[in-house]
Structure 1
């Protein structure tokens, strides 16, 4: 498996500086809901410290964690693709500090600087590919356990 790509360290320094000029520092208390599935995806975060759980709602009272994110990880990518709705929910698993970015401002910056836009989209694609690879591995592991009768 490949190593996870980190958004900010993947950007060359001048492009990272342009992006960071749009960021602001935020924090979330442990157990705080950061966003809900199907909500408007109008921002994203880069986690500085702490842990975030991505979850999928199974029923009105039950959620299942589908991924965990930590320092350096990108939280939120739905802002990049129509219909701009969150696919998952997110909750702070511990106190979290992050950089928050307004999606519209970042998209405008990408239009002004196509090189930054291309690099940003390519980096997000690498992050998504890595997460899909990790999920595939987890599914294969679950399948193997199920085939052996372990639950």
Structure 2
């Protein structure tokens, strides 16, 4: 069983009050994965939101059958699988355990019921989720810029 105190170690949940975390703890499952295990794959229906308690998760984007790019490394205290918080979405990357992992997870249908009964909780949660999405978008934009800048055919344009 997860407690509200356990959820304090998750960065995005530090913005919730203790009573809010206590209510959230009631719907959170603890899941364990081995090194190399795939938590979810791109294009699968996004059915859970994840918060890493221990271990490390790599978010990978398949470029081709032979090439996979790591687009993020999730450390303990951080969350992933945010596509699940958007209705009718699919995951956009693969989530692969780089080490044995323990994650807190919930189904969006359950948290949406909490948000209906506590709109302030929903507002705080989604504000933090937007920060995560923005940071990841900024990182991906920078990665894209560097890839273009370092491409041999483009280098003449930057001189």
CA positional deviation for 1:86: 0.9
Contact 1:48 1:72 in 2 (8 A): yes
2:57–2:97: 8 Å Cα contact kept in structure 1?
yes
Q: What's the Cα RMSD here?
A: 1.9
Highest RCO, 1 vs 2 (Cα 8 Å, sep ≥ 6) = 1
State the Cα deviation string for residues 108-151 of structure 1 (Å, max 9, x = none): 111121111111111111111111122223333333433558xx
| Contact 1:7–1:46 under 8 Å retained in 2 | no
Kept after mapping to 1: 8 A contact 2:13/2:125: no
Which of 80, 85, 88 is the equivalent residue of 1:75?
A: 80
Structure 1 unaligned spans of 5+:
none
Aligned position for 1:44 = 49
Q: When the two structures are aligned, how many residues end up with a matched partner?
A: 145
Output one character per residue of 1:91-121: Cα deviation in whole Å (capped at 9) or x when no partner.
1011111111122111111112111111111
Write 1 or 2 for the structure with the bigger share of strand: 1
Q: Does 1:28 align with 2:33?
A: yes
Write the mapping of 1:1-151 to structure 2, written as runs, cut at 5 A.
6-146=11-151, 148=155
Distance 2:50 2:86 in 1: 16
What is the TM-score with the length of structure 1 in the denominator?
Answer: 0.85
Q: CA-to-partner distance for each residue in 1:4-54, whole Å, 9 max, x for gaps? A: x92222322222222122112211100001001111111111101111111
Larger gyration radius, structure 1 or structure 2: 2
